[in-house]
Amino acid sequence: MTPIRLLAPAFAVLSILALPLVVLAKDTGRIFVSNEQSHTVTVLDGRSFASVATIKTGRRPRDIKLNSDKTLLYVACGDDNRIDIIDVAKLAVVDSIRGIDDPEVFDIGPGDRQLFVSNEDAGKLSIIDLATKKLVRSIKVGQEPEGVLVTLDGASVFVASEAANLVQVIDVASGTIKANVPVGSRPRRLAQSTKEVWVSAEIDGSVYVLDKSNYTVAGRIEFAPKGFRREDIKPVGLTLTRDGSTAYVALGHANRIAIVDAATRQVRDYILVGKRPWGVALSRDEGHLFVANGASDDITIVDARRGEVVRSVPVGRTPHSVAIDD
């Protein structure tokens, strides 16, 4: 595992000196990165970005998310049909929720009561009770479901179906689909503000903005970084600031992050990161953006306010998602 080499003391010290302004968290500040092809989660120090630990997980760990008090990290392990639970204090897998068919992306509902996960291969959305760690129900959705997002009130779940070109809205209480929103080709991931849900459409090369109040398309954003053709633009991961004013969209094959002004839906800037960036995560203070570069086995840390790359840090093979304990 390459991250070990990063611990070379001289390198670590130098990097701290070089970055006196990077102060990320009151808590451990640690950064967790899932590595799809190493079957591990890399843990980085929040200040030095040096590797603290490499945690072995089930095979093909993809989405990762912390619970609300940040004591547990859930890891969707697609090839082992389970969700591993990492104790953040112990940095070890302490439990697993088994029998979850090919879990890919998930979200956790308010109060940490339920976890909603897309079963990519089975074409389902599964609802898991986190207290009993049992599957409550599975709902048939469009083929190849990926992005899952629980609304802030916990009443609805949005699911993006890659093969059906649909975003489906599921009523949590009844477990029924209450809306189908056709979007561009290959919808992947979702992000939300209070009023909107943003959807990346990878093959369409765009982001769709959905109105939460009536489940209709309220806008569409295209990307045109200089020197790229339409076919090179493949948006996947995206996140919004809490006030809903700014969006960060990972453009995949174009190796860039687009910074979008949400109100005007104009792209403010494009930031060059690593190869095939997909997963993105903002620090709690929204000062730093962490980008998982799937094809260069590293993450790029971006100063979100200045729109500048702080540095890149090698992790495991094919990093998928980032979660931050801050």
Partner 1 sequence: MTRVAALALALLLGSLSAGAAERMVIGYVDLMNDARHEDRAGFGGIVFEQRGRPHDGAALALEDLAMAAQAGGIEFELVAIQAADPAGAVGAIETLRIERGARFILIDAPAETVAAAARAVRGDGRILLFNVSAEADALRGADCSTHVMHLIPSTAMRTDALMQLVVVRKWRDVLVLEGPDARDADLVRALERSAKRFGVRIAAKRPFVLGSDPRERDQNNLALLTSAASYDVVFVADDSREFSRFLPYQTMSPRPVIGAAGLTAEAWHWAWDRDGGTNVSRRFRRMAQRPMRGEDWAAWIGVKSIVEAALRARSTDFATVAAYLKGNEFRMDGSKGQALSFRPWDNQLRQPVQLATQDAVITQAPFPQFLHQSENLDTLGADRPDSLCRFPSDSR
Task: List contacts with partner 1 (CB under 8 A).
Answer: 120-121, 140-144, 161-166, 168, 177, 180, 182, 185-186, 202-205, 229-231, 234, 253
Q: How far is the CB of 161 from partner 1 (least distance, A)?
A: 7
Is residue 241 a contact partner of residue 263, using CB atoms and an 8 Å limit? no
Q: How far is the CB of 78 from partner 1 (least distance, A)?
A: 10
Residue (22 or 164) nearer to partner 1, CB: 164
Residue (114 or 118) nearer to partner 1, CB: 118
Residue type, 35: N
Q: How far is the CB of 276 from partner 1 (least distance, A)?
A: 10
Q: Is 106 helix (H, G, I), strand (E, B) or coil?
A: strand
Residue (19 or 163) nearer to partner 1, CB: 163
Residue type, 27: D
Residue 110 neighbours by CB distance under 10 Å: 13
Q: Record the tokens describing residue 220, joined without a space.
A: 């569409």
Q: Is 148 helix (H, G, I), strand (E, B) or coil?
A: strand
Residue (203 or 309) nearer to partner 1, CB: 203
Residue (23 or 272) nearer to partner 1, CB: 272
Residue (84 or 162) nearer to partner 1, CB: 162
Taking every pair of C-alpha atoms in the chain, what is the biggest distance, in angstroms? 57
Q: How far is the CB of 177 from partner 1 (least distance, A)?
A: 7
Q: How far is the CB of 55 from partner 1 (least distance, A)?
A: 24
Is residue 25 a contact partner of residue 281, using CB atoms and an 8 Å limit? no
* HEC sequence for 242-259: CCCCEEEEECHHHCEEEE
Distance, CA of 49 to CA of 301 (rounded, Å): 9
Residue (155 or 163) nearer to partner 1, CB: 163
Q: Record the tokens describing residue 263, joined without a space.
A: 């109100």
Q: Record the tokens describing residue 229, joined without a space.
A: 């053709």
Least Cα distance to 125 among 110, 141, 112, 114 occurs for 141
Q: How far is the CB of 194 from partner 1 (least distance, A)?
A: 26
Lookup result for tokens 């190869």? 275
Sheet holding 288-293, edge to edge: 277-282, 288-293, 298-303, 308-314
Q: How far is the CB of 143 from partner 1 (least distance, A)?
A: 5
